[in-house]
Amino acid sequence: MRLILFALGLCAATPAAAQLRAVPAQPASEVEALRGVEVFLVNETAAPIADAGPRQIEVTAVDGTRLVLERVPGPTPTIAPGGFAKARYVPVSVANVAIPPSDQHPPAKIAAEETVVQSSTGTSSAFLDRFEPHEPVYGVFGTGDSGGKLQVSFAFRPFAEDAPLKLGNLRFAYTQTMFWALREPSGPFRSTNYSPEVYADIPFDETTRVALGWRHDSNGRGMVDSIDVNRIFGRVEKSFDLGGDWRLDVAPQAWFYVGRFGTAPDVKDYLGYTALTATIQQKDGLKIALTGRGNFDTRRGGAELFASYPLAALGGGVGFYLFGQAFTGYGEALDDYRVNDTHARIGIALTR
């Protein structure tokens, strides 16, 4: 049945005069479309075309729901004459009217308008479309000297996707990790890691991304006890579809150090030069991520485990995750990078 629908789409998706036809596979329903819809980009000309496809298209699901699909960001393919390429789209809204046809296919853009929110604290504004999740945002708590661990993290895209000189790949990111000594009088924050980053996030295909950039890690202290770590890093992430909404992501990373280390010239002996992250996740379900890093020469390093489950899946419209975090080894907190610790904590996360 799908082959018949695809063949009909080839005949009727766009006028014959169009240079590039976008032919979507027909999803069974909006729920199925949320997993991604495969769209065939057919070059009907006698010359190669470099085109990522239209930003948005309309499709009618098998159950009659009319959907507006938006292209997932990715590389721009060069399609040979008479050939085709595949793109992935996800729904952005349910359509009541058709999208006017166009012979031109502009690349996906980040909205230029700011988002305005009115609340009891007044009016706030931001370019929210430019913010992205980075490392997990969570608050977790453990027994004994594990205490609490709080983390905030985000990435910001200063340029639109179609900016010249590939500036659309640029990201500014910031992560702050705080260690809360709950069992001490007044419950002070005993240590804080500050980690700004600048990097280019480059898509190679739908399953592979490469990042190149600079990261600074600091304990935020003064001249007497400052720890400053500056690294130039490279990271590759490869995603594998395991079927049944399950996915495996593997991300090796390597770096070298630049600049001074403050009062910790031996910190590289504990943080090492390489890391590997492996993540298995079910869409809207369980996610488990394990990261290991270390120095092969000194045989010192650390490993961190995240486990999360969306509470929205349990009903009630809850918009966060049940979150578990565990660490063993050296360097969880920069202030204690020479201490070999093991901690386990549980709490909630806003992103994962």
Catalytic residues: 216, 218
Q: Are 318 and 312 in contact (CB under 8 A)?
A: yes
CA angle, 37 as apex, 36 and 40 as ends, to 5°?
140
